[in-house]
Amino acid sequence: MNLTKSLTFHLGTIIAGILIVMITITSVATFFTAYDKLYEAAGIEAYGCANITTGLIDPVMLEKALAGDEESKIQLGSLLNWTTDHKNIFDSQYILDLNGNILALDDNLAEKGFAPGDSFYIDEEAINMLLEMNHPTYSKSYYFGDMNRLSGYAPIYKDHDPTNEIIAINVIDFDANIVKKRTWDVVSKGILYSLIPVLLASFVTAFLIRRKTKPISKLIHQAKKIANGNLVVEETVVKGQMKLGNFQEH
């Protein structure tokens, strides 16, 4: 009964397709929602650590670095290595002046070819918020220095006194791709688990459709034989009213 198989297949495919489209839409929405939440968590972690580690920075040494003392810049950079050495999830840490120039940097960033005095990308919107609200913040994802970065920004006050002016910015960078990877790890499991009931529902639906359409298909098959001139066909008896879904093969 090719017609029966065809009808069952097409109806089953339509229903399964609708379910898959619904899962796809839901999964995409879930991915972006989860990504936003994980990105926010990563940003808070980055600027939280940047804020805490401002305590490692010697204010006298920082003043000298701002004045152009090269030795102070090197010494500050060696202090910054403590953060990335103790937390591998962070890619690099460095100190920027208010113009976005590097005052000091850890070994990780130095190995990528950067040096004190180089101009570094800053998220101007985030920096303006930091300067206006005197509060640490984080950047949007951006590509710079051969990687996608998420930067946590923390203000460094003169003499570490929050009542004084902000004189520099402490920055810690994440690899922003980590957020995408973590989001996919979470969402992919949900997609896998949701596909299992969809497959089961598709098999059950195909079975029910085949069962309900089998009498119709037999009648159509018989009518085709008659239309082709074969008047000697077996009688097909159908029990119940001739309504789709309300009759069964006798």
Q: What is the pLDDT of residue 106?
A: 95
Token look-up 């030795």 returns 71
The reply to whether 207 falls in a domain is no
Res. 145: pLDDT tops 80:
yes
In this prediction, residues 101-117 reach a mean pLDDT of: 95
Mean pLDDT of the region 106-113: 94
Distance from C-alpha of 100 to C-alpha of 109, rounded to nearest angstrom: 15
Number of structural domains found in the chain: 1
Instruction: Answer whether residue 97 is part of any domain.
Output: yes
pTM, entire model? 0.71
- Lowest-confidence segment of 25-29, 76-80, 244-248 by average pLDDT: 244-248
pLDDT category, 101, cuts 50, 70, 90?
very high
> Over 60: is that where the pLDDT of 245 sits?
no
Query: Average pLDDT of 141-169?
Result: 94
Q: Which residue has the higher pLDDT, 20 or 53?
A: 53
* Mean pLDDT on 128-147: 94
137 falls within a domain? yes
Rounded to an integer, what distance in angstroms lies between the CA atom of residue 129 and that of residue 240? 74
Range of the domain at 113: 57-176
Question: Residue 151: beta bridge partners?
Answer: 173
Torsion over CA of 21, 26, 29 and 34, rounded to 10 degrees?
-140
For residue 195, the model assigns a pLDDT of 66
Q: In this predicted model, which residue has the larger pLDDT, 162 or 212?
A: 162
Query: What CATH code is carried by the domain that includes residue 67?
Result: 3.30.450.20
pLDDT at 237: 57
Whether 161 is in a domain gets the answer yes
Distance CA 53, CA 75 (A): 15
Domain assignment present for 167: yes
Whether 119 is in a domain gets the answer yes
pLDDT digits (tens, 9 = 90+) for 179-208: 888 888 877 777 666 667 766 766 676 676
Higher pLDDT, 167 or 227: 167
Residue 246: pLDDT band with limits 50, 70, 90: very low
